Amino acid sequence: MTVQPRFFVTAASGQLGLLVVAALARRAGPAAVAAIVRDPARAASLFPDGVTIRQGDYERPDTLDTAFAGAERLLLISSNAVGQRVPQHRNAIEAAKRAGVARIAYTSVLRADTSKLALAEEHLQTEALIKASGLPYTLLRNGWYTENYTASIPAALTHGAVIGSARDGRISGATRTDYAEAAAAALLDEDAPSDAVHELAGDEAFTMAEFAAELSRQAGREIPYVDMPEAEYRTALVTAGLPEPYAALIADSSAATADGAVFDDGHALSRLIGRPTTPFAATIAEALKG
C-alpha cells in the first residue's frame, strides 16, 4: 500500500526548510513528508529519497491548493520577502484551510507580540491570520540564528573587526539545525494543544563582544567588536553593498538587541528538541572550517 505524506513543509528548499524536511524524514520516514517548493525540477536532488515534492508558490494561490491536498500537518515557513510576507502568508493560510489541514505551524519571531524588532510586525500580523482561520496552530517563535552572526565572519576577518549596534545586549542564539529539529518535533507532537506557542531560543547567551572574543581565540588574532550608532552601522552595511531596506532592517535588529529583544532564558528550545542547543563557539568553529 502506498503511504501518503502527512507532514508538509513550505519553502522547503530554503536553508531552514531543507533541515526540517531531513529531520521529519528521519523521525517519521521520508514517505510521510511532502516538500513544497517553487521549482520542483531544480529541487529534486535536495531531499531524501522517498520525500514527495510538490510545487507551491506563495504568490500563486492556485498552486497551493494542489500542493496542500491531503496534508494533515503543515509547517508554514515564513517568506523571506520582507514587506510582502503578510499577503503571501494569507494565501498559504487560506489554502491550508481549504485543504482541511488539521494543524498549521508557523515560524514566527521570539515574543512577536511584544518585540521591539521592526520585522516582528509582519510575523504578528501572520499570527493573527492563523488565529482567525480557526485552524489548530503551533507558533514557533524562533529567536536568532547563530548563523546570522557567523555569516559576517569573512568580512570581520577581512576588515579586522566585528561591527554592530548591539552594545552589551545578550543574544540567546541557536543554530538553524536546532530550530529545524524543534519544528519537526512540534509537527510530530500528538498531544499539542490547539493553540500552542513556543518561545524558542538558545540555552547560552552571548554579547557581540563575547562573540568577537571567541572568534579572535579561534582565528588566532585579535578581532574586536566595534559598537556604533544605528545610523552609522546602517551606512556601513550599505557601503558594504547591502540594499538600503535590508541594511536598515539589520541595523534595527542590532539596536533592538541592546534592549533585550533576542534574549530569552526559558530553555523551551532545548526541552522541545531533547538536548542542549548548540554552543556559539561550535558554530564559529564550523564557519571557520568553510
The CATH number that applies at residue 115 is 3.40.50.720
Residue 2: inside a domain: no
Residue 181: inside a domain: no
Domain that residue 95 falls in: 7-142
Q: List the grid coordinates of 27.
A: 523521525
Q: Please tell me whether residues 150 and 132 are part of one structural domain.
A: no
Q: What integer best gives the mean pLDDT of the chain? A: 96
DSSP H helical ranges for 106-243: 120-133, 147-150, 153-159, 176-188, 208-219, 230-239
Predicted confidence at residue 4, as pLDDT, reads 85
Class of residue 76 by CB neighbours under 10 A (exposed 0-12, middle 13-18, buried 19+): buried
In tens, the pLDDT along 142-179 reads 999 999 999 999 999 999 999 999 999 999 999 999 99
Residue 183: inside a domain: no
The CATH number that applies at residue 241 is 3.90.25.10
Q: Please tell me whether residues 54 and 100 are part of one structural domain.
A: yes
**Per-residue pLDDT band at 262 (split at 50, 70, 90):** very high
